[in-house]
A and B are shown apart, each in its own frame.
Chain A
Amino acid sequence: MIKQKINVKYLISLGVSVLLAFLVGAVILLCTGHSPLEAYGAMFSGAFSASRHIGDVLEYAMVLGICGLACDLGSRVGIFNVGGEGQLLLGAIAAAQVGAALNGVSAWIVIPLAALAAIAAAALFALIPGVLKVKLKVNEVITTIMLNTVAASLCQYLAKGPWKSSNKNLIAATEQLNVRYWFGGLMRGSNLSTAIFAAAIIAFLVWYVMQKTTIGYEMKLTGQNPRFARFSGMRIDRKIIVCMAISGAMCGLVGMFRVYGAEHLYRSSVSNDYYFEGLMVAMIARYQPLATILLSLFFAVLKIGAEGLQQVGVPNQIYLIIQTVIIFFMAAQGGFLEALTQRRDLKQILKAGKGAK
């Protein structure tokens, strides 16, 4: 009963935020001399106008979804992984290099090894902030953000130096993968590949573990009140570290999917702050896995549709404006709703009296 009430409140606030964001976008469009109706029309029809667009929508939704779920997983045990971008890049380059180094070996061997390499590289990298948080109480937001730069620089170095492609035209990229290793394309002309099936399985598993299992229950309590979880005998340190590693591994796999499914080599365009966009989706979804997946689809439509906007002469940055304004209004409403409930709580506390003690 209570759960439903929260959901209704959430849906209303989401709906209002989206509406307001489109209104703000419309005002900006009007100011810059575009017709909002035309632009929005082009945006939505753009996303569905051709099968390759639909394919791109699904591919982008996959990236957002897995990144968002990685963020959900961390937040469930009370850790905020802001370092997914770096973990993604490391996973991508590790997988790309495995494919390049083992050129000629059977795909049945290369692809699992590449996946393992992506998982290992990203998970190990994610362990650093996890262990620092648990052992030394170092704030993970700071460490993960900083490590993004470390990872990006490291990848850049590897792609320009030791692992550089033999193709002189590519300045910072690894060797292109043998076509035998490419994930099969699903919609002609789009980036969509069979990786989406693997992503669907991962998404289901994450949702299932978080929502339906006993370990998911323990994770939730750990995130809600770590002191209580420890008091009750749960091993919270281990949970935080493991969840951080899995969160990193998921990001690493997204990197691998981008390389084997779309880019076919490592270069910095495997991710264009995709993790941060996924993180924003997770935030809008209040870290709920199902909502994260659904909202990933919605934002993928906006993003890919916005690319079609350029054809009608509207800069596609309008997408970013709309996304950030939604977050802004969600946060503002969240704060507003919280302020209301807090006031209520405060009153209840005053009312319940100083009888305590």
Chain B
Amino acid sequence: MKQTDAVIRFEHISMQFPGVLANDDVSLEIRRGEVFALIGENGAGKSTLMNILYGIQTPTAGSVYIKGVRVEEYDPKIVIGQGVGMVHQHFMLVPSFTVAQNIVMSREPRKHKIFFDNAAAEASVRALEEEYGLVVPESVPVEDISVGLQQRVEILKALYRGAEILILDEPTAVLTPQETDELFAVIRRIVQEKAMTVIIITHKLDEVMAISDRVGVMRKGKLVGVHETKDVDARKLASMMVGRPVLFDELERTGLVGDPALRVSNLQVCDHRGLPAVRNLSLELRAGEILGIAAIEGNGQSELIEAITGLTPVKSGRVEVLGKDVTGQDPGEIRAAGLAHVPEDRLSTGISAAATVAENLLTGKQREPRFNRFGFHQNRAAVRRYAEEVYERYDIRGAGVDGLAGDMSGGNMQKLVIAREFGFDTPVLIVSQPTRGVDVGAIEFIHSRIMEKRNQGAAILLSSADLDEVFRLSDRIITLYEGEITGSFRAGEISKEEIGLYMTGSKRQGGTAQ
């Protein structure tokens, strides 16, 4: 069965983790010179498969062939030597080192065999840039360049080590639409001109359609299908991933926009280093509308939300919830004024991982009379009943309400947070990264819940790194760049491509949002 053009061959790979079969008899061939997209929900086994290929993990059964040679020892060092490179989702760069130093790391040019030769390093990086047409500022520290450029540095690092097969793990998660386009152009170039092979792990289906030649879909550890990309569409891929038809239909919008529920005026907030993160920002959010924030990470959206919800001090300006000034109050008081919050980082802020699911669902309501006897004795039976009911209603899946919250999968953890926060029935909802790391099926569920809240008259402030999500849910969109509003649009008024220009600060409207 050996084909000449198979650069990577997985034969009957199985990977057994305690209690979980992460890869279940996966056989797959990747051809030389193609862009292969590997898609699947969280826990479908795609990262495990790639970790096996990259030598991080040893499969419990089956074998991997790289360029026809069977991998005997699973060790990244050996695999890298065979021409496999991987760009992880979280970049592995030393922030204080220059671009060139990062690229040559582990194979540094030396003077007299001892001293690092910076000039030679930069020269070889320049040669590399020329060869592949990927331009980077060689002598600038990595911490001073954009995320898109950092990714390019990662790619060059792999190329420097002689990679012919490049694995990209969720490469577009942190990129703007423009940067994504540039990345795709780079991928096309290295594949066409240098006959490289690129494997992309992703869950963004339109990107699969845009860049890949072939696509493999994984579900529950199994490879459920491999197709030529031109033979499938996004809807079909989504159904294959989830194992049932997925409706990507327009969400129904009903109800009328009401009175202002959240008003932020001239807000200034500093980040944890004391540097200005939100600059003189004003916005108004009305009942029955979703205001989406489109911004690249690190442009003040986190600080804005933390300041509104009381987690971070306000330097100056004013925050009003339902007409009540809550500036500088603690989160408890702000919640009492009529606000609930789905935080961007559920593990550090949204749950207590060491507490049970029931305890996590209770938080915020623990002082309600129905959960207390004599005002202080916790009524565990009532807590349990309540938790089980919510668990059921929000379709949370896991070890039940007595299981530890930290043991749940990311998607279910997120459902838990959403169940709890939406359960407060507050007029104002702050929703940050509602579907980060969440499966397609759960995304659908969470989106419809958000829309339901909007239609019931809640005022929702949505912040998401996923531009598709912002576009799908928002009635209005504002763009943030370096802590300032650079644009304010009605839904449908602007395209994703154009909004990217506002997100990067290359364009801006005159005034502020309303």
Interface set of A (CB-CB < 8 Å, partner B): 1-3, 212-218, 220-221, 224-225, 227-235, 344, 347-348, 350-357
Contacts and interface: CB of A to CB of B under 8 A. Distances in A.
B469 to A, nearest CB: 13
Contacts of B41: 355
A351 B22 contact: yes
A44 B174 CA distance: 66
A353 B341 contact: no
Contacts of B332: 232-235
Contact of B311 (A224, A230, A344, A356): A230
B48 A350 contact: yes
A352 B220 CA distance: 11
Contacts of B403: 2
8 contacts: A225-B351, A225-B353, A227-B348, A233-B332, A353-B42, A353-B47, A355-B410, A357-B465
Contacts of B18: 344, 347
Given A354-B89, A357-B465, A225 B42 contact: no
Given A348-B20, A350-B47, 18 more contacts: A1-B402, A212-B377, A213-B377, A217-B362, A217-B366, A221-B355, A225-B352, A228-B350, A231-B309, A231-B331, A232-B335, A233-B335, A352-B409, A353-B45, A353-B48, A354-B89, A354-B170, A356-B89
A348 B42 CA distance: 11
A224 B343 CA distance: 18
Contacts of A218: 366
Contacts, number: 134
A224 B352 contact: yes
Contacts of A212: 377-378
A231 B170 contact: no
Given A216-B378, A230-B311, A355 B331 contact: no
Interface of B: 17-18, 20, 22, 41-48, 51, 56-57, 88-90, 169-170, 173-174, 201, 203, 309, 311, 330-333, 335-336, 341, 343, 348-356, 359, 362-364, 366-367, 371-372, 376-378, 399, 402-404, 409-410, 436-437, 439, 465
Contacts of B47: 350-355
Contacts of B201: 353-354
- Chain A: interface secondary structure? helix
B430 to A, nearest CB: 11
Contact of A231 (B89, B311, B377): B311
Given A212-B378, A214-B378, A224-B352, A352 B410 contact: yes
Given A2-B403, A217-B378, A352-B410, A232 B364 contact: yes
B480 to A, nearest CB: 19
A63 to B, nearest CB: 29
A230 to B, nearest CB: 6
A225 B309 CA distance: 18
A347 B363 CA distance: 30
A231 B378 CA distance: 21
A213 B376 contact: yes
A345 to B, nearest CB: 9
Contact of A353 (B44, B376, B378): B44
A230 B355 contact: no
Nearest to A235: B332
Given A216-B378, A221-B359, A231 B372 contact: no
Interface centre among A224, A225, A231, A356 (most CB of B within 10 A): A231
